[in-house]
Amino acid sequence: MQYYLITKWFGSFLLDSQKNIVEQFLFSKDEQKLMNKIEIIRDHRVLNEEKKLADKHNPIVIEKRLQSLGSFQINNSFFSTIQINSESFGFSKELLHSILLKISKEQVDSSLSSPDYQVIQQVNALDELQHIANVLSERLAAWNMYISDEDNQKPIVTVLQQVEKNQELLKQQIETDVKNLAPNMTELIGPMIAARLLSHAGSLKKLAMLPASSIQLLGAEKALFRFKKQGGRPPKHGVIFQHPSIGKAPFRLRGKHARLLSAKLCIAAKADMFTKRFIASDLKKELEENLKNK
C-alpha cells in the first residue's frame, strides 16, 4: 500500500492511495502553540507529528523539508487532488487569520529591531546629517559674501557645529555596531564601507546571498541602469571604490581589483551571516597576494 504525507496549518495527515485519512495528528487550538507549529513549518523543519506518521510507512511527500521522511516527488499530481477542510476538524478561518496576523507582526517587529536594520538606519541618518551640514555650510558661505554681523549668523553656526559633532558620534556608533554584526567584512574592507554595503543590500542576509558580481556593483545602480538604457561603458564598481585597493589603483586595474575584492567580500558576508567564523585574516592575506600578482 502506498501512503502520502501532507501537513496543513491545523494538522498532519497520512493518506492512502484512495485518499482516505489513515492516521492524523491535529494541532492544538491554542493560538501560541499553533503559531509555534506554523513557525517550525515556515523554518523548513520537520514536526514530531510528521516523523511519527512517516514511521514504517515511507510515504510520498511533496515538500522538500520532508524529503528525509519518505519519497520526495514534487510533481506528484495526487497532492493537487486532496481536499482537507480545516473547518471539518473544528479549525475556523478566523483562527488562521488571527494567527497569521500575529506571526506577521512578530516578523515585522523582529526585522525592525534587528542589528542590521539599525545599522542601515544609522547610515541613512549619517547621510542626512551630511546633507544638512552641506546646506548650512553653503548658506554661511553665501552669507559671508555680504557684510554682516556675526551675531546674526550665530544660530546657523551653532546648529552646524552640533550637526558635525553628532555626525562624528553617529559614525563611531556605526563602526562599533557593524564590527559586532559583520566582523569579517569590517576587517576586510573597513566599517564604513561594510555598513554602506549592508545599507544598499537591505540586510546582512540579503548581502550574504548575493553573488560577488552584484556586491561589486552595490551603490552603482544608477550607473548600471543608465548603461543598460543608453549604452556606453558599464560601471566597474560601486561603494567598494572607496577602498584604497581600488580607489588608489591605476585606472586600468580598478576593474580587476574590484572583482578580487568583491569575491573575498562574498565569502566574508557568508561567514558573518551563517558560520560566524572569523576568517578575515586569511581572506585579507589572500587578497593582498592576489593584488600583488595583478
Instruction: Tell me which residues of the chain have a pLDDT lower than 50.
Output: none
> How high is the pLDDT of residue 238?
84
Could you tell me which residues come within 8 angstroms of residue 161 by beta carbon, excluding any fewer than 6 positions away? Answer: none
Q: 76 near 15, Cβ under 8 Å?
A: no
> How high is the pLDDT of residue 113?
67
Q: 39 near 103, Cβ under 8 Å?
A: yes
Task: Classify residue 5 as left (phi > 0), alpha (psi -120 to 50) or beta.
Answer: beta
In a 10 Å sphere around its CB, with 0-12 CB exposed, 13-18 middle and 19+ buried, how is residue 174 labelled? buried
Q: 236 near 261, Cβ under 8 Å?
A: no
> How high is the pLDDT of residue 229?
73
> How high is the pLDDT of residue 294?
62
Task: Classify residue 56 as left (phi > 0), alpha (psi -120 to 50) or beta.
Answer: left
Sort strands 21-26 and 11-16 into parallel, antiparallel or unpaired: antiparallel
> How high is the pLDDT of residue 128?
95
Q: How far is CA 231 from the centre of its chain?
A: 31
Q: 52 near 30, Cβ under 8 Å?
A: no
pTM score, whole prediction: 0.66
- Looking up cell 546674526, which residue turns up? 152
> How high is the pLDDT of residue 42?
87
115-293 adopts what CATH topology? Serum Albumin; Chain A, Domain 1 (1.10.246)
Residue ranges of domains in the chain: 3-112, 115-293
Q: Which amino acid is at 135?
A: V
3-112 adopts what CATH topology? Nucleotidyltransferase; domain 5 (3.30.420)
Q: What is the pLDDT of residues 47-72, one digit of tens each?
A: 999 999 999 889 999 999 999 999 99
> How high is the pLDDT of residue 250?
87
> How high is the pLDDT of residue 239?
92
Q: What is the pLDDT of residues 130-180, one digit of tens each?
A: 999 999 999 999 998 888 788 899 999 999 999 999 999 999 999 999 999
> How high is the pLDDT of residue 247?
85
Nearest in space to 246 (alpha carbons), one of 279, 220, 277? 220
